[in-house]
């Protein structure tokens, strides 16, 4: 698996950047599902995004059926770059793309979900990717993780904007097939929802193995491992305590100094991302559109 | 096969960015073998792409910027923090300084650093004015008789405005981004991260020497008063020089975050390339004299000998700009350099040359190498001055110097290191020769060097040397 990952991982920076760039339109016909004045646009550009992403995965993997689906259809291990790039493109498209383009992308995902079914070997329960309950968990984990990461390491939005963000993001859940009434509409609702799901969560062997690998990919150079460790420590630090316990991670609270270090590492990572062709231009397009929507 | 989508759909783009780290290792493998290329390109790509026909001033920082994006201008101190906080300001400074280490940078790293510089927009006129007011005690339109709110160039963690002083002098005013000094100072304290970055970015280099030097130099640049002091020192030393011109600092209008100096005109490097070869040779001679006279007689080296920092006038007169990266040397630090040059160029004594390398810390004592192998490896750096007579410095020669510098396959390379004090002097090998090579400059460099070397004090070798001798004769004796 390790060798496979390395073998196929070459080009991830380039491909994920290209995917991001492809999702940001040059001359948008409309403002898309969120628009330049949205909190979602601001949050998506935050340098804490890698932490948000990793925390999302850690949370999502605790759902046995979600994890079973991944485990049993683990093509992503053979082509992780392709998977991640596709994900980047999807998220960028949904966030920044024109409305019709975002809807088309979501329709594609729904069509794929229609055919994803199986039985979890651990619990013996059947699952289906199109099950709104699973999709909602995945959605909630992402939204909660984005906020947690931005609050801890990024440029936090004003408090009232956290609620706005959760509300804005409802449309993303709807897009993949979750009925709107089921989707949390505020931070408080989001927390209540996560608590309600919690009794059904557990760290299955598949989750443990996959996340252990992600958190500590073997064979990293010392310097590279240092960056990785910062992202990992950050993601674990902003997990709920109960989730850390499920995994058995031991994480003392971050000192202010350590928090600063992590932020600095995230800044370097962000700079690496901007070093990719087209990323800076895409960000500038976004900034300019946000400027026109913001009082000078 | 399909429910991986479940997971996939959920991963933030950031996860992809995080995972890129896994690959860095993969990517570094081949990159580590590919070093030394394209160091020159960075220098030679001197074309100014700033607003309109503004004279080029303090332009090193913005050399890679396409243009000043006023539509993206930073409007608040928070905008500055978002753009240059979290290590990005430090990275940008490293990018600026990279031209003296970048032969050892991988292309991917160099591209990243260049893009980072592109990513920094100018300050809005209001934000720049606020800094001027905080520093000078009056808004720019009162501190100056005339003030151009549009910056004419990007600069070292700031930008340059044209203005006219209340007593009528045309000046260039460099204004620092607000809050940047504090941010960068804090980020420079994360030594572990800096070391990690440098190990990735410049694996060929002695990272600890480089790290200390970068921290010191960047730290110094945060306070423009230091730059003003260096420029004053240079301007005083070269006062009245026939071909070397240093713009005067305007004292009352220069502070920690604002530096005001006399505005200078002149042709840019790209334009010089269209001048007759005779003019180019003269310009090259002036640059050469400036670099080595400053080193040996002012004990100062401008770490940024960059085409963007020169303005050219007919007859070999050159205006030198931007003294933010000046390294001052002690006599003890200069002594070994002189010994090395003397033993290999003047005394032709390989064993003594070897000993001087060892004494200076360039060569590990007792290295199992023949002295001939050492001389063969290092002689290229002295090729232009080992024998008298006219020599043309070509781009090929400049490239060979860079290649040799980063040639890690040579058996000699493993025993060679650049001691910290001399890290910045790499810019002679990586920068100065690139500029001279780009000019295809011909001169009797050895004879000029003999004029300047304190241990030879040779006779004037050229008409410019005669004019310089006359200048030295009539100027008051100086400590330097």
DSSP string, A195-263: HHHGGG----HHHHHHHHHHHS-TT--HHHHHHHHHHHHHHHHTS-HHHHHHHT---PPPPHHHHHHHH
Flag whether residue B76 sits within 8 Å of chain A, measured between CB atoms.
no
- At B137-165, the pLDDT tens digits run 999 999 999 999 999 888 778 999 999 99
CB pairs under 8 A between A and B: 245
Q: What is the mean pLDDT of residues A197-217?
A: 89
User: Which A residues in the span 33-52 are in contact with B, Cβ-Cβ below 8 Å?
Assistant: 44, 47-52
pLDDT of residue B303: 76
Q: What is the mean pLDDT of residues B298-302?
A: 92
Phi/psi class of residue B56: alpha, beta or left (left: φ > 0; alpha: ψ in -120 to 50)? beta
Whether B99 shows a pLDDT value over 90: the answer reads no
User: Rg (Cα) of chain A, in Å, rounded?
Assistant: 18
pLDDT of residue A74: 58
pLDDT of residue A11: 60
pLDDT of residue B67: 56
Whether B459 shows a pLDDT value over 90: the answer reads yes
User: Among all residues of chain A, which has the CA nearest to that of B27?
Assistant: A10
pLDDT of residue B24: 37
pLDDT of residue B136: 97
Bridge partners of residue B302, in order along the sequence? B326
Measured distance between the N- and C-terminal CA atoms of chain A, rounded to whole angstroms = 52
ipTM above 0.85, yes or no: no
Quote the distance between the C-alpha of residue A269 and its chain's center: 16
- At B159-184, the pLDDT tens digits run 999 999 999 999 999 999 999 999 99
Whether B30 shows a pLDDT value over 80: the answer reads no
More confident residue, B8 or B259: B259
pLDDT of residue B127: 96
Task: Give the containing element (helix H, strand E) for A127.
Answer: strand A126-128
pLDDT of residue B97: 65
Give CA–CA dist A280/B63, Å, rounded: 17
Give the three-state DSSP class for B413: helix
Residue where the block lists tokens 């992402």: A142
A9-23, B227-241, B460-474: least confident range: A9-23
Query: What does the DSSP assignment read for A131-179?
Result: -HHHHHHHHHHHHHHHHHHHHHHS-PPPHHHHHHHHHHHHHHHHHHT--
Work out the minimum CA distance from A63 to partner chain B, whole angstroms: 11
pLDDT of residue A93: 96
Largest CA-CA distance found in chain A, in angstroms, rounded: 58
Flag whether residue A58 sits within 8 Å of chain B, measured between CB atoms.
no
CB atoms near residue B245 (< 10 Å)? 22
Interchain proximity B21–A87, CB inside 8 Å:
no
More confident residue, B447 or B77: B447
Q: Is B207 exposed, middle or buried (0-12, 13-18, 19+ CB in 10 A)?
A: buried
pLDDT of residue B110: 72
Residue B310 tokens, joined: 């020169």
Give CA–CA dist B214/B46, Å, rounded: 24
Whether B312 shows a pLDDT value over 90: the answer reads yes
pLDDT of residue A276: 85
pLDDT of residue A219: 64
A116-130, A162-176, B119-133: least confident range: A116-130
A127-131, A165-169, A268-272, B297-301: least confident range: A268-272
Whether B13 shows a pLDDT value over 60: the answer reads no
pLDDT of residue B104: 56
C-beta separation of B343 from B349 below 8 A: yes
Q: What is the mean pLDDT of residues B102-112?
A: 66
Query: What does the DSSP assignment read for B142-209?
Result: HHSSEE-SS-SEEETTEEEEEEE-TTS-EEEEEEEPTTHHHHHHHHHT-HHHHHHHHHHH-TTS-HHH
pLDDT of residue B408: 66
Q: For chain B, what is the mean pLDDT?
A: 80
Residue B121 DSSP label: P
A124-133, B210-219, B275-284: least confident range: B210-219
Residue B220 tokens, joined: 């110094």
- At B356-408, the pLDDT tens digits run 999 988 899 989 999 999 998 888 888 899 999 999 999 888 878 777 776 66
Which of B65, B62, B82 has the alpha carbon at shortest distance from B118?
Answer: B65
pLDDT of residue B480: 43
pLDDT of residue B129: 97
- At B35-79, the pLDDT tens digits run 222 222 222 222 222 222 223 333 333 333 445 677 888 888 888
Residue B353 tokens, joined: 């040359």
Give CA–CA dist A53/B252, Å, rounded: 52
Give CA–CA dist B202/B194, Å, rounded: 11
A57-66, B100-109, B384-393: least confident range: B100-109
Percentage of the residues of chain B whose pLDDT score is greater than 90: 48
Give CA–CA dist A180/A16, Å, rounded: 30
Largest CA-CA distance found in chain B, in angstroms, rounded: 86
pLDDT of residue B153: 83
Beta carbons within 8 Å of A245's beta carbon, 6+ residues apart: none
pLDDT of residue B205: 65
Residue where the block lists tokens 């997990």: A239
pLDDT of residue A12: 62
- At A213-272, the pLDDT tens digits run 778 876 666 666 788 889 999 999 999 999 999 999 988 889 999 999 999 999 988 888
CB atoms near residue B116 (< 10 Å)? 26
Beta carbons within 8 Å of A79's beta carbon, 6+ residues apart: A8
pLDDT of residue B316: 97
Residues in chain A: 296
pLDDT of residue B68: 62
pTM for this entry:
0.80
User: Which B residues in the span 135-194 are in contact with A, Cβ-Cβ below 8 Å?
Assistant: 186-187, 190, 192-193
Interchain proximity B116–A271, CB inside 8 Å:
yes
CB atoms near residue B368 (< 10 Å)? 8
Among A53, A224, A264, the residue with its CB nearest the CB of B25 is: A224
Residue B252 DSSP label: G
Give CA–CA dist A83/A51, Å, rounded: 18
Angle at alpha carbon of residue B278, lines to B273 and B280, rounded to 5°? 35
Q: What is the mean pLDDT of residues B10-16?
A: 36
Flag whether residue B200 sits within 8 Å of chain A, measured between CB atoms.
yes
Give CA–CA dist B281/B312, Å, rounded: 12
Angle at alpha carbon of residue B211, lines to B208 and B217, rounded to 5°? 140
Q: What is the mean pLDDT of residues B257-286?
A: 94
Residue B269 tokens, joined: 């490097």
Phi/psi class of residue B69: alpha, beta or left (left: φ > 0; alpha: ψ in -120 to 50)? beta
Interchain proximity B86–A52, CB inside 8 Å:
no
- At B202-217, the pLDDT tens digits run 666 677 877 887 888 7
Interchain proximity B26–A109, CB inside 8 Å:
no
A83-87, A138-142, B56-60: least confident range: B56-60
Give the three-state DSSP class for B310: strand
Whether B131 shows a pLDDT value over 70: the answer reads yes
Task: Give the containing element (helix H, strand E) for B326.
Answer: strand B326-328
Q: Are strands B158-164 and B244-245 parallel, antiparallel or unpaired?
A: unpaired
Give the three-state DSSP class for B260: strand
Whether B409 shows a pLDDT value over 80: the answer reads no
Say what the alpha-carbon torsion angle B210, B216, B217, B221 is, to the nearest 10 degrees: 150
Interchain proximity B15–A50, CB inside 8 Å:
yes
More confident residue, B135 or A9: B135
Whether B105 shows a pLDDT value over 70: the answer reads no
Measured distance between the N- and C-terminal CA atoms of chain B, rounded to whole angstroms = 75
Spell out which residues of chain B touch residue A49, defining contact as CB-CB under 8 Å: 12-14, 17
Flag whether residue A160 sits within 8 Å of chain B, measured between CB atoms.
no
Flag whether residue A80 sits within 8 Å of chain B, measured between CB atoms.
yes
- The contacts found for B394-400 with CB under 8 angstroms, 24 or more apart, are B394/B437, B394/B440, B395/B40, B395/B434, B395/B437, B395/B438, B395/B440, B396/B437, B397/B433, B397/B437, B398/B40, B398/B433, B398/B434, B398/B436, B398/B437, B398/B438, B399/B40, B399/B437
Task: Give the containing element (helix H, strand E) for B14.
Answer: helix B13-33
Give CA–CA dist A228/B200, Å, rounded: 14
Residues of B with a catalytic annotation lie at 304
Spell out which residues of chain B touch residue A76, defining contact as CB-CB under 8 Å: 4, 7-8
Whether B18 shows a pLDDT value over 50: the answer reads no
Q: What is the mean pLDDT of residues A78-87?
A: 74
Spell out which residues of chain A touch residue B199, defining contact as CB-CB under 8 Å: 222-223
Burial B44-66 (b: 16+ CB within 10 A, else e): bebebebeeebbbbbbbbbbbbe
Whether B22 shows a pLDDT value over 80: the answer reads no
pLDDT category at A293 given cuts 50, 70, 90 is: low
């Amino acid at each position: 698996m390790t060798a496979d990952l390395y073998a196929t991982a070459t080009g991830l920076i380039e491909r994920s950047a290209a995917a991001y760039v492809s999702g940001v339109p040059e001359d948008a016909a409309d403002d898309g599902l969120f628009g330049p004045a949205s909190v979602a646009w601001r949050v998506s550009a935050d340098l804490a995004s890698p932490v948000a992403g990793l925390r999302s995965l850690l949370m999502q993997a605790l759902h046995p059926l979600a994890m079973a689906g991944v485990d049993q259809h683990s093509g992503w291990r053979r082509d992780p770059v392709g998977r991640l790039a596709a994900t980047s493109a999807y998220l960028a498209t949904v966030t920044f793309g024109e409305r019709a383009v975002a809807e088309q992308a979501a329709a594609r995902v729904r069509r794929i979900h229609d055919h994803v079914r199986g039985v979890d070997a651990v619990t013996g329960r059947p699952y289906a990717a199109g099950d709104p309950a699973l999709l909602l968990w995945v959605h909630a984990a992402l939204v909660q993780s984005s906020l947690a990461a931005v609050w801890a390491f990024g440029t936090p939005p004003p408090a009232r904007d956290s609620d706005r963000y959760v509300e804005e993001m409802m449309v993303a859940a709807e897009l993949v097939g979750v009925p709107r009434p089921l989707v949390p509409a505020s931070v408080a609702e989001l927390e209540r929802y996560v608590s309600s799901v919690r009794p059904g969560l557990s760290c299955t062997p598949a989750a443990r193995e996959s996340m252990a690998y992600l958190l500590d990919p073997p064979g990293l150079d010392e310097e590279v491992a240092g960056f990785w460790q910062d992202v990992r420590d950050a993601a674990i630090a902003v997990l709920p305590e109960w989730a850390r316990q499920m995994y058995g991670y031991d994480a003392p609270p971050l000192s202010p100094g350590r928090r600063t270090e992590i932020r600095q590492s995230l800044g370097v990572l962000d700079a690496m991302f901007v070093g990719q062709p087209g990323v800076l231009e895409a960000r500038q397009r976004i900034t300019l559109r946000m400027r026109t929507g913001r009082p000078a | 096969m399909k429910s991986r989508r479940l997971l996939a759909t959920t991963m933030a783009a950031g996860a992809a960015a995080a995972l890129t780290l896994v690959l860095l290792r993969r990517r570094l493998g081949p990159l580590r073998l590919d070093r030394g290329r394209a160091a020159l390109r960075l220098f030679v790509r001197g074309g100014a792409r700033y607003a309109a026909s503004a004279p080029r001033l303090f332009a090193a920082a913005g050399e890679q910027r396409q243009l000043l994006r006023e539509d993206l201008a930073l409007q608040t101190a928070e905008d500055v923090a978002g753009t240059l906080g979290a290590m990005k300001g430090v990275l940008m400074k490293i990018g600026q300084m990279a031209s003296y280490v970048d032969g050892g940078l991988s292309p991917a790293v160099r591209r990243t650093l260049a893009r980072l510089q592109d990513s920094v927009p100018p300050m809005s006129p209001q934000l720049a004015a606020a800094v001027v007011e905080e520093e000078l005690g009056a808004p720019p339109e009162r501190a100056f008789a005339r003030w151009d709110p549009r910056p004419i160039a990007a600069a070292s963690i700031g930008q340059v405005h044209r203005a006219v002083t209340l007593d009528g002098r045309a000046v260039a005013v460099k204004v620092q981004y607000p809050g940047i000094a504090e941010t960068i100072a804090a980020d420079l304290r994360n030594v572990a991260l800096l070391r990690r970055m440098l190990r990735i970015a410049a694996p060929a280099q002695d990272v600890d020497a480089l790290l200390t030097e970068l921290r010191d130099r960047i730290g110094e640049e945060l306070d423009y008063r230091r730059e003003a002091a260096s420029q004053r020192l240079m301007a005083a030393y070269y006062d009245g020089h026939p071909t070397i011109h240093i713009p005067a600092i305007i004292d009352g209008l220069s502070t920690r975050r604002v530096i005001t100096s006399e505005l200078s005109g002149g042709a840019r490097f790209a334009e010089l390339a269209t001048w007759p070869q005779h003019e180019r040779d003269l310009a090259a001679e002036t640059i050469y004299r400036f670099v080595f006279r400053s080193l040996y007689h002012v004990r100062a080296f401008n770490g940024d000998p960059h085409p963007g920092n020169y303005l050219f006038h007919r007859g070999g007169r050159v205006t030198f700009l931007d003294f933010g990266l000046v390294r001052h040397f002690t006599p003890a630090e200069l002594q070994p350099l002189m010994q090395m040059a003397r033993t290999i160029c003047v005394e032709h004594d390989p064993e003594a040359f070897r000993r001087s390398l060892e004494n200076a810390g360039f060569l590990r004592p007792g290295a199992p190498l023949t002295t001939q192998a050492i001389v063969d490896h290092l002689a290229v750096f002295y090729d232009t001055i080992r024998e008298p007579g006219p020599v043309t410095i070509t781009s090929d020669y400049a490239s060979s110097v860079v290649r040799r510098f980063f040639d890690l396959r040579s058996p000699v390379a493993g025993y060679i290191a650049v001691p910290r004090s001399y890290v910045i002097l790499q810019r002679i090998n990586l920068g100065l020769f690139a500029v001279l090579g780009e000019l295809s400059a011909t001169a009797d460099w050895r004879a000029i060097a003999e004029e300047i070397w304190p241990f030879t004090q040779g006779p004037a070798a050229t008409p410019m040397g005669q004019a310089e001798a006359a200048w030295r004769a009539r100027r008051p004796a100086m400590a330097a």
